[in-house]
Structure 1
Amino acid sequence: MLATGAFITINGLNPFSLVTLGIGGAISLLPKLSPKNEQANGLRPATLTASSEDIPTPGEFKIYRQAELNRTTASLKANGAILIAGEDGSGKSVLASAVVEKLQADGYIVAFIEPATLKQMLLEIAHQFDIPTENLEGKALTADKLQVAIASFLEENTAFLVIDDAHACKAGFRMWLKQLRRINAPMLLLATDPPRTDIFINIPRIELRPLPEYAIREIMIIAAAERAIALKPSELSKLQERAGGNPMLATRAVDEEYLGLDVESGDHRRYFDITPLILLIGVAFVVMRFIGLGTNDQALYIFGGIAAAVFLGLSRLLYNLPPEDRRIR
């Protein structure tokens, strides 16, 4: 009996208590993981919320579309072409500037132009490529001869064309760009709602999606610091609703707050999911049919069945239609 009692209890502790104490002691001897170590060891996923250390100082440049930047520069270096499309203020020009800066830092020649007349754009490209714009007699080259000279330069040299607001360029200039693609001239086009025609339908496109909330919040904090105003978290949240994921609208919202303007809504595109409403209507038609069946109301039963069938067909048709950003205009 004494031996049994000694086995069951040691100083009043049962085996389960001893196991618990042993596990607790082992855990206490393990090195504690800091938040950084936890994240590095995969024990805690990284959050999207940026700390104050990640927010750049006012006037400091920061790119929030690093994936698009890397993909675009890699495609251009492979003699490819990319079309970056997005709404006004979505950050296309900022991304283009980052691409130009990265290519120039790598030692490449880049011509970055904006829409103008055909002759002015060709002259600007020639100047940035350091191509003579006059013949041996000192006469200015015509637009056709400038096009030939630029095409010859692109065939013989590694150089890049970056054209902002390409949707505003004339059709003749865009057709010339299409001809340049036949000789694999690398180019980056940036456009707002570009039509599915000429050069725009020939090259791959990247659709710029709205920036995440943390990025818009950082942009607003930087803009507020540049204007020497302090915004409360509640005020930032309200301004974020106005800006959506558009960086330009985020800066404009801070300007409007700085000027004391009372603006209720923003200009960004807003999309609402009406799927729950559609499902509710479909359920209502089905319920109507069963009510007609239960009450022996033949008219209600037939109407509910026909309405449910028509609704189901229309919903399936609308579901199979391509999204707006994928339709051929």
Structure 2
Amino acid sequence: MASIGAIAILLNCLPAPKTGNSKPTDADATEDELREIELPPIVESSRPKRLYRQAEANRIKASLLANSSILVVGEEGCGKSELATAIVESLQGDGFTVATTEPATPKQMLTEIAEQLGVETRSLEGKALTADRLQVAIADYFEGNTAFLVIDDAHLCESKFRIWLKTLKRQGVPMLLFATDPPRSDVFINLPRIELASLPEYAIRELMEQAALDRGINLKPSDLAKLQERAGGNPMLAIRAIDEEYLGLEVEAGDHRRYFDITPLILLAGVGFVIMRFIGLGTGDQALYIFGGIAAAVFLGLSRLLYNLPGEDRRIR
């Protein structure tokens, strides 16, 4: 009897079993309980990644093969780096020499480019070449060889490096630059640009479904739809939304940027004031007639001004 009583006391001391849906909260979870929580490991899918910007990749590659340079612009996380990787691999697969680099000091970037092109980075005496001599050596290489230069996050490069890129552009070196909100100066103003649009909804949904599968979590279609609203058309934010759900984090809204051209709205307002002017004319309300005419002229003139601006300057988020 004593042994049975001891067993009963021991069982009462054991913690209650946790259900699969229970989540500890800050109010009732102790530090020891939080330490015991283990998330299932993230298993990367063995399925090859799908390139959702194949049309852009084909256009960019065709431009480079035509000995043209191009600038690809898009918000953070829209897939610029994946697109760069796909193009580099495609060019290298066709036997072309491609030098790639990311923002660092000009000397580091020039050294990395030279090494990938097979250009000597040291003098005959064994001393490392200066940045100026590396620039000359790389320019000489491009003068006598067919090769491509690909730079991701080019907007983060120092201005003197971008000015050197502008010199290469004048030399006819085919280069591909990726940037987020690049300044309207140096090499960026000389290159034709492609602006990456948001990915279509089906692509974002596929990315989120695969990310959820890799993390071993089951999401209802309604849950995926809510998470997709936070991501917009941004693939990086789509994966982040799944990670936040995987970690049980509460997030109110996403960081994506969606643009709207406000020119039609201003034009519509101008038409409304024209109608107001005719109403004032018909009703004999002189004040309404004058106000409608002045407002319509202002709004129609503003819409014409915005029409002549670059596309990204007449948009709102």
How does the TM-score come out when normalised to structure 1?
A: 0.75
Question: Which residue is equivalent to 1:156?
Answer: 144
The answer on whether the counterparts of 1:58 and 1:223 sit within 8 Å (CA) in structure 2 is: no
The percentage of counterpart residues that share the same residue type is 72
The amino acid that maps onto 1:237 is: A
Alignment of 1:88-99 (within 5 A): 88-99=76-87
Question: Which residue is equivalent to 1:257?
Answer: 245
Alignment of 1:1-329 (within 5 A): 60-272=48-260, 278=266, 281-282=269-270, 285-286=273-274, 288-289=276-277, 292-293=280-281, 295-324=283-312
The answer on whether the counterparts of 2:103 and 2:156 sit within 8 Å (CA) in structure 1 is: yes
The amino acid that maps onto 1:79 is: N
- State how far apart, in whole Å, the 2-side matches of 1:59 and 1:229 are: 18
Q: Highest CA radius of gyration, 1 or 2?
A: 1
The amino acid that maps onto 1:73 is: K
- State how far apart, in whole Å, the 2-side matches of 1:165 and 1:192 are: 7
- Structure 2 CA distance for partners of 1:284 and 1:159, relative to 1, 3 Å: closer
- State how far apart, in whole Å, the 2-side matches of 1:112 and 1:280 are: 48
Secondary structure in structure 2 of the residue aligned to 1:182? helix
- Structure 2 CA distance for partners of 1:316 and 1:180, relative to 1, 3 Å: closer
- Structure 2 CA distance for partners of 1:106 and 1:277, relative to 1, 3 Å: closer
- State how far apart, in whole Å, the 1-side matches of 2:262 and 2:168 are: 44
The amino acid that maps onto 2:302 is: L
- Number of aligned residue pairs: give it: 272
- Structure 2 CA distance for partners of 1:256 and 1:304, relative to 1, 3 Å: same
The answer on whether the counterparts of 2:263 and 2:314 sit within 8 Å (CA) in structure 1 is: no
- State how far apart, in whole Å, the 2-side matches of 1:280 and 1:81 are: 39
- Structure 2 CA distance for partners of 1:298 and 1:249, relative to 1, 3 Å: same
- State how far apart, in whole Å, the 2-side matches of 1:236 and 1:204 are: 37
How does the TM-score come out when normalised to structure 2?
A: 0.77
The answer on whether the counterparts of 1:115 and 1:121 sit within 8 Å (CA) in structure 2 is: yes
The answer on whether the counterparts of 1:58 and 1:226 sit within 8 Å (CA) in structure 2 is: no
